Chains A and B, each alone.
Chain A
Amino acid sequence: MRNSVKFALIAVTLAICTFSASAKKAEKEPLDPKFTSIQNISVLPIMDVRPGDKAKVNLQGLQKSVVNALKHKRYSASESDTMGTNTQIDVEDLDSADPAVIKKLGQTSDRWVMIVLLGDVHSKVTFGSTGNAEVSGYLFDKQDGSLVWKGKGTGTAGQGGLMGMAMKGMMNGAALDSAVNALFATLPNLPKSK
């Protein structure tokens, strides 16, 4: 009798788990067409908007890591070497998605452009060392001058102890990598091509 009760309890639990898992799968919304229609994202040179003293950062390397992160999400992406005809771009133009500004971004042949802003990178020594970095990104569709996606990511890195103190030089880079990962956390993955 006891065994049969146990068996019934296990069966009911399994049934509930299966049902809830399938319900969650069914609830998963299909990807927005504005993402699936993207053919190639042109990643513009990184805009350095850091305040105060600026630590040395390889901006080209950062641009490459942005391209790689997009490829990891299955988007076709390439590096661009020009910001476009508008040289005075401000964070507010990007936040407000001003079509007049957006249409001047990148090369004329580009349709989807991504602009990444480097907000801050710094490291410090405590009992160990830590690094913080902040990046924000905007993806625009130049055809209609609209904002497709925007995100902001902060990355932190650090190691305690004497070994950590010796690692200070690595912290900026580690924090930047971490920030790029955080930035793209909200960008949906494209489905696998069949």
Chain B
Amino acid sequence: MRKSILAVVLFTICPLLLAQQTQPIPQTPNSSLPTPVTTSSAEPVKTDAVPITSKWKIILLEPVVRIDDSMVVTRSSPLGSGFPGVPNRKPVGDEDQYERVMLDAARSEIGTKASIVEPDKLDPTAIEDCNHLNYLASRLSRGNINDEASKLLTHLAELDPQYIILAQSIRLQSGVHGTWNPNTGGITSSTASTLLQIALISAKTGAVIWKSEQIIRYKAAKPDDPAMSKALLALFQDFRIE
């Protein structure tokens, strides 16, 4: 008797509870949920192209690609060491490919905010200055401007005070793979890494206008690696020029 009463009660309560849970959540006008965007064919279609208002002329220096793979690696652990790591011998990619990927990213991210001067459209004197600056691009990408670079920048500013240079560098470290020692429980992570550095320097003042860096840990990212694309996007995320 008791069991049948219990069963009846359960059969009436459960559908009620289920009905309450499946009720739609009322939408408020200020809901943070994204609303679908509709475009009308009568209206002009908006594109990503933004009129360039900046007066600056950006010269892209050749990106510097550095591939490091030789180093001494030791490992320690509070309870025991991991097995020796196996060096990562996979070829990371062609230097030209990295250069191309970095230049493409710079063109697409900066191109909408400032005008980029292609090297072939430069004055022969400016080309010579840029060739010299290319040798210093690695340090310039870290925002380190030495006397030699200052002189070259001053000379470039004499040709056109609106010139700005963009120096980029990438350092790839193939390192060793991660390890695990089942006897001691010692583990280690891969020592591979990818470091992207970039700096925008005014020729007129010789000062760093903007700089950024991104590090991809545990991976020497290939040029077509999704992690590389993500890092390049993040590199230019806060790029601004007035």
A32 within 8 A of B: no
Residues of B within 8 A of A (CB): 71-79, 82, 85, 138-139, 142, 144, 146, 175, 178, 180, 185-189, 191, 193, 195, 197, 213-215, 217
Write out the residue numbers on chain B whose beta carbons fall within 8 Å of the beta carbon of A141. none
Given known contacts A51-B195, A132-B191, is B139 in contact with A92 (CB within 8 Å)?
yes
The 8 closest A-B pairs by CB, nearest first: A156-B188, A182-B74, A130-B189, A158-B187, A182-B72, A178-B76, A160-B185, A156-B75
Q: State in angstroms the CA–CA spacing of A52 and B75 once bound together.
A: 23
Given known contacts A51-B195, A174-B77, is B146 in contact with A164 (CB within 8 Å)?
no
Write out the residue numbers on chain B whose beta carbons fall within 8 Å of the beta carbon of A167. 78
Main secondary structure of the interface of A (DSSP, over half): mixed
A70 within 8 A of B: no
* Cross-chain pair count, CB within 8 angstroms: 109
The chain B residue with its CB closest to the CB of A152 is: B71
Instruction: Name which of A11-19, A75-83, A109-117, A121-129 contacts chain B.
Output: A121-129
* A153 contacts B191, C-beta separation under 8 Å: no
* A130 contacts B188, C-beta separation under 8 Å: yes
The chain A residue with its CB closest to the CB of B175 is: A154
Q: State in angstroms the CA–CA spacing of A132 and B215 once bound together.
A: 14
1/0 contact trace for A150-191 toward B, CB 8 Å?
011111111111011001001000110111011101100000
Write out the residue numbers on chain A whose beta carbons fall within 8 Å of the beta carbon of B72. 151-154, 182-183, 185-186
Given known contacts A92-B138, A154-B175, A182-B74, is B197 in contact with A51 (CB within 8 Å)?
yes
Write out the residue numbers on chain A whose beta carbons fall within 8 Å of the beta carbon of B78. 157, 159, 167, 170, 174
A193 within 8 A of B: no
Write out the residue numbers on chain B whose beta carbons fall within 8 Å of the beta carbon of A157. 75-78, 188
Q: State in angstroms the CA–CA spacing of A128 and B82 once bound together.
A: 13
Given known contacts A88-B144, A159-B187, is B73 in contact with A154 (CB within 8 Å)?
yes
Q: State in angstroms the CA–CA spacing of A92 and B138 once bound together.
A: 8
A90 within 8 A of B: yes
Q: Closest approach, in angstroms, between the C-beta of B22 and any C-beta of chain A?
A: 39
The chain B residue with its CB closest to the CB of A100 is: B147
Q: State in angstroms the CA–CA spacing of A51 and B146 once bound together.
A: 20
Q: Closest approach, in angstroms, between the C-beta of B166 and any C-beta of chain A?
A: 18
* A160 contacts B76, C-beta separation under 8 Å: no
- Most A CB contacts (10 A, CB to CB) among B77, B142, B175, B180 go to B77
* A174 contacts B76, C-beta separation under 8 Å: yes
Write out the residue numbers on chain B whose beta carbons fall within 8 Å of the beta carbon of A174. 76-78
Write out the residue numbers on chain B whose beta carbons fall within 8 Å of the beta carbon of A177. 76
The chain A residue with its CB closest to the CB of B140 is: A90
